[in-house]
Structure 1
Amino acid sequence: MTPSVVLVSGVSRFLGGHLAARLAANPGIDRVLGVDTVPPSRDMLRRMGRAEFVRADIRNPLIAKVVANANVDTVVHASLSASPGSSGGRTVMKEMNVIGTMQLLAACQKAPSVRRVVLKSSTAVYGSSPRDPALFDEATTPKDMPSGGYAKDTVEIEGYLRGFGRRRPDVSVTVLRFANFIGPRIETVLTRYFALPVVPTVLGYDARVQLLHEEDALAVLERATAEDLPGVFNVAADGVLLLSQAIRRAGRVPVPVPGLAVGPVSRLFRGAGLVDFSPEQMRFLNFGRVVDTTRLREGFGFEPRWTTMQAFDDFVRGRGLNPVVSPARVESLERCVLDMARCMRRESPERT
């Protein structure tokens, strides 16, 4: 059943704002409310069309009045932040993520009009560990539970949502565990990382990276909002890239960093305002993470348009990332190495 009044949190950010714009363009939806602590950009407000911006802090119990007065029937919680730097620090980020979610769910619990809740969650709930399985499905228990940061926030938030579902069994609850976003327009820690001219990696590791194109992410959120599709779903593109492959496709220069130096290097990049590395993000770059998306296709009915490789290449093209080292120079160096290897093979019999 198409919703009547939809509330979307986090509309000053890419996903929340563009989702509100898509929903506002749906004539079957009577009203769209976009909530955030700061207003979206002028361009985003223009894109949002008839969607109404409500300046409100979901950490404040007054959010219950917004939900009740508007007779909201569908809530899309899309404001979870993975970046302490852009959130005003780790303390503020945790308050917005965890306390904000608790207050929003409390508002939903009190409002009899609410019939559907959609959560933008993350595959970060599975953590990253050298003991991880090849694929995480929705029922897999992490080998090492996230101990802090955004990953721990997400685990707690999903727990609160399960509690809400038990208290309000009449409400349809959808949890979308998204892989890392990539694309020409979205700004994330990962897009900034791959845009660095010199990309630090962890010496001795080459993580498997699974991504999701920004447009596929919006399409999944829109479908979850417009249709009754309860459950937990991994949302990711087909295929994986090794971290080394991704860096090469972006034309960047990898710089392997010994494990003991990873902490100081990440603090250096964070202090310089280049990339806001957190410990769980560094673990992801160590070990990677790949999820099974069978339930997304069979239960949710969605097939991502872009594969991981196609999504990454679209990001590279869209950002206009020119190779730091030209392809011709790389090919020349490769030829030199191959020529040296052939010479060594020819000389080795003579030495024996």
Structure 2
Amino acid sequence: MGKVVLVTGVARQLGGRFVRRIQREPDVDRVIGVDAVRPEHRLGGAVFVQADIRQPTIARVLAEHSVDTVVHMDVTGTPLGTRGSRGTIKETNVIGTMQLLGACQKAPSVSRLVVKSTTSVYGSAPRDPAVFTESTPPKSLPSGGFAKDAVEVEGYVRGFARRRPDVAVCVLRFANILGPRADTPLADYFSLPVLPTVLGYDPRLQFVHEDDVMEVLRLASFDPRRGTLNSGTFNIAGDGVLLLSQTARRLGRPTVPVLLPAVTWVGQALRSVGMTDFSPEQIRLLTHGRVVQTTQMRETLGFHPRYTTAETFADFARSRGPGLLPPETLARTVDRLADLVSATPSEERT
């Protein structure tokens, strides 16, 4: 008998894509896709079960199908289409994870758990270290939103790992996910015709390509008997970093620097017209940035991303089409303005 894999959050494009990908593995016998709503995309030969992981019925699903591997992808920061409020998202993230872990704890067949998390658990603060490792505590814990949900989710996962030491647990902390099909808040932000930025800040950013997300989830879904010690918590990101100013140039989109106190108002205005989720955690990221170390991803998990951060962003930018200005023209203009600004103080002194 092959593996029986249960995947949560399959109504989202990322979850649906992983379901289709994992079915191609020769060691996989069956795939069970679970979500509270029926997906609009195809799931291949997977069995779809319409179930809300916030409800105890998820335990019955695990038992009925003798699931041995659970891939929990229903931890997210955005509603599915027009459905769901922030309260509903938080309940699914936190209460849903609690119910799922409780069901896994009672299911003797479960031997592996993979959890999709985020590097947002480190927060974004002015006194952050240059690079976060998996063991680096955040200078300031996230105070709300998806980042706080992820911190709580990881706490419950650690508790589950203590209660079920026989289950291999792998937590994947993804950097910002981008790609041609990305539907993340940051992808929405970069799709704006003009990018609002925080005056005086040019944060460092990391990205991971959606194709690499599929591959590392696949790798993490198999146990150490295949020769990979893929249990633990891992930062997942492409090599290198990009400054926010560099991303704007590569998109060919002008920026509008906004004073920090006014950024919240701008975010509210953008949300009111449905353009993007400009949440407080998004604002902190676009102010202070975040960079993580990926040594454990390579040396312990054995995963080497196909795309660097720059290549990931380039692929995303191609999918969004040309911006308002050709990137070369925008780059030259910005460089000239920077030269003028830097030259002004010395001219005044003379």
Report if TM-score (shorter chain) is over 0.5: yes
1:307 aligns with 2:308: yes
Q: Percent sequence identity over matched residues?
A: 56
Q: C-alpha separation between the residues in 2 aligned to 1:155 and 1:339?
A: 43
Superposed displacement of residue 278, structure 1: 1.1
Which amino acid counterpart does residue 52 of structure 1 have in structure 2?
V
Gapped regions of structure 1 (runs ≥ 5) = none
Match of 1:23 in 2: 22
Asked if the contact 2:170–2:232 (Cα under 8 Å) also holds between the matched residues in 1, the reply is: yes
For the aligned residue pairs, the C-alpha RMSD in angstroms reads 2.2
Which amino acid counterpart does residue 319 of structure 1 have in structure 2?
R
Gapped regions of structure 2 (runs ≥ 5) = 225-229
Superposed displacement of residue 85, structure 1: 7.8
Superposed displacement of residue 77, structure 1: 0.2
Superposed displacement of residue 184, structure 1: 0.6
Q: C-alpha separation between the residues in 2 aligned to 1:34 and 1:3?
A: 17
Superposed displacement of residue 260, structure 1: 1.2
Change (3 A) 1:323 1:299: same
- Per-residue deviation, residues 115-163 of structure 1 (Å, max 9, x unmatched): 0000001101100000100110000000001111111110111010111
Superposed displacement of residue 226, structure 1: 2.5
Matches within 5 A, 1:1-352: 4-41=3-40, 44-45=41-42, 48-83=43-78, 86=81, 88-228=84-224, 229-320=230-321, 322-327=322-327, 329-330=329-330, 333=333
Which amino acid counterpart does residue 251 of structure 2 have in structure 1?
A
Superposed displacement of residue 323, structure 1: 2.3
Deviating above 2 A after TM superposition, structure 1's stretches of 4 or more consecutive aligned residues are: 84-87, 326-341
Change (3 A) 1:272 1:111: same
Q: C-alpha separation between the residues in 2 aligned to 1:340 and 1:211?
A: 32
- Per-residue deviation, residues 260-303 of structure 1 (Å, max 9, x unmatched): 11111100001100001111111111111000000000000011
SS in 2 for 1:217: helix
Change (3 A) 1:204 1:49: same
Asked if the contact 2:254–2:330 (Cα under 8 Å) also holds between the matched residues in 1, the reply is: no
Superposed displacement of residue 227, structure 1: 3.5
Change (3 A) 1:255 1:113: same
Which amino acid counterpart does residue 4 of structure 2 have in structure 1?
V
Q: C-alpha separation between the residues in 2 aligned to 1:56 and 1:323?
A: 42
Change (3 A) 1:138 1:3: farther
Q: Please say which structure displays the higher CA radius of gyration.
A: 1
Q: C-alpha separation between the residues in 2 aligned to 1:17 and 1:85?
A: 13
Change (3 A) 1:201 1:73: same
Which amino acid counterpart does residue 288 of structure 1 have in structure 2?
G
Change (3 A) 1:301 1:40: same
Q: C-alpha separation between the residues in 1 aligned to 2:219 and 2:332?
A: 49
Asked if the contact 2:2–2:30 (Cα under 8 Å) also holds between the matched residues in 1, the reply is: no
Superposed displacement of residue 336, structure 1: 7.4
Q: C-alpha separation between the residues in 2 aligned to 1:288 and 1:340?
A: 26
Asked if the contact 1:3–1:225 (Cα under 8 Å) also holds between the matched residues in 2, the reply is: no
How many aligned positions are there?
Answer: 340
Which amino acid counterpart does residue 217 of structure 2 have in structure 1?
L
Q: C-alpha separation between the residues in 1 aligned to 2:335 and 2:149?
A: 49
Superposed displacement of residue 27, structure 1: 2.8
Which amino acid counterpart does residue 12 of structure 1 have in structure 2?
A
TM-score, length basis structure 2:
0.92
SS in 2 for 1:297: helix
Match of 2:227 in 1: none
SS in 1 for 2:38: coil
Asked if the contact 2:5–2:31 (Cα under 8 Å) also holds between the matched residues in 1, the reply is: yes
Superposed displacement of residue 335, structure 1: 9.2
Asked if the contact 1:3–1:73 (Cα under 8 Å) also holds between the matched residues in 2, the reply is: no
Which amino acid counterpart does residue 67 of structure 1 have in structure 2?
L
Superposed displacement of residue 315, structure 1: 0.5
Superposed displacement of residue 340, structure 1: 8.1
